[in-house]
Amino acid sequence: MRVGVHTSISGGLANAAHRAHEIGCDSLQIFSANPRGWHESQPSAEGCRKFCEARASYKLLPLAIHANYLINLAAADPVVRIPSIAGFRRELQRAVSFHAEYVLLHPGSAKNGSRSSAVKRFAQSLLKAAKGLQLDGLTVLIENTAGQGSLLGATFEELAKILTGIQQEVPAGVCIDTAHSFAAGYAIHTPRGLGETVRQLDATVGLRNVRLIHANDSKAAFASHVDRHHHIGKGWIGLEGFRRIVRHPKLRAIPFICETPVDKPDDDRRNVEMMRRLAGSGKRQASRWARGSGQEGIGKV
């Protein structure tokens, strides 16, 4: 199992790779710039080179770039949609310069319009953003959502429609978030519910298109449509729920990325450790990390 965390790029791009390696990751996710503003600084060629060298030396694979939260390619309002298209194009360009495998984004909102029209606008906007770019192995991943308000992509059926609209033009797949799936009403916390969820996912999106899993427990209740991430095993999905997820024969080969909170120092390390313990891999190394952080008793497994 390959597991990583969303890692900060503060202090320089290469620091993200160093941090990921230090806490035991073998994959990672980053923001390529400020995720909550349109005026982002562009990385230098030297910064990109150092990051790529560090990542290669640690064998961190895959690298996922999470797109700016402000991007809404499905927006009916051109005041929102036009800067979203330009912003996502910059995300693609930076991801190519980082030699990333994936750039992922949320499908946006159908506010003030029909969902079917919003799905079409999303595809049109994404293809416009990617027009003329050489993606050099980069794949666009669409992330499922909890379905709060008018957000698109809470059902696998709608996610499949979104994917179909772009897949013939650009390399594309999906990222499935466990907390979002749970909050959207997929009962992944029970043995029967997980089996049915995987069956539905394969019948709609296709498991071959699931390239990444965001491993997040949920502070929000089942089918609440509220997006609130929690530490692995500490939320409503729970330890046994995650044990089944990471050991599921159709999921365990997919890379997992934790987007869990950092409430205390070393929380990222503990969440990576927990994922490995639940998967039954790297136990000796996980025990060493636990002793070093003073967290030997975290989450009895």
Q: What is the residue range of 186's domain?
A: 3-293
Task: Give the model's pLDDT for residue 281.
Answer: 66
Residues with active-site annotation: 36, 66, 69, 106, 143, 177, 180, 214, 227, 229, 259
Task: Give the model's pLDDT for residue 40.
Answer: 83
Query: Is 41 inside any structural domain?
Result: yes
Query: Is 300 inside any structural domain?
Result: no
For the chain, the straight-line distance linking the first and the last C-alpha, in angstroms and rounded, comes to 18
Task: Give the model's pLDDT for residue 112.
Answer: 79
Could you tell me the pTM of the whole model? 0.92
**What sign for the dihedral angle of Cα 180, 185, 190, 193?**
negative
Indicate the pLDDT class of residue 39, thresholds 50, 70 and 90.
confident
What's the structural domain count of the chain? 1
**Calpha distance 188→68 (Å, rounded):** 28
**Calpha distance 55→52 (Å, rounded):** 5
Task: Give the model's pLDDT for residue 111.
Answer: 87
Strand partners, 256: 3, 213
Please check the confidence at residue 43 and state whether its pLDDT lies above 90. Answer: no
Q: What CATH number is given to the structural domain containing 42?
A: 3.20.20.150
Please check the confidence at residue 30 and state whether its pLDDT lies above 60. Answer: yes
Indicate the pLDDT class of residue 101, thresholds 50, 70 and 90.
very high
Whether residue 99 contacts residue 53, with contact meaning beta carbons closer than 8 Å, is answered with no
Query: Is 301 inside any structural domain?
Result: no
Average pLDDT, the chain: 92
Query: Is 27 inside any structural domain?
Result: yes
Query: Is 258 inside any structural domain?
Result: yes
C-alpha pair distances (Å), 222 with each of 84, 101, 122, 187, 209: 31, 32, 28, 8, 25
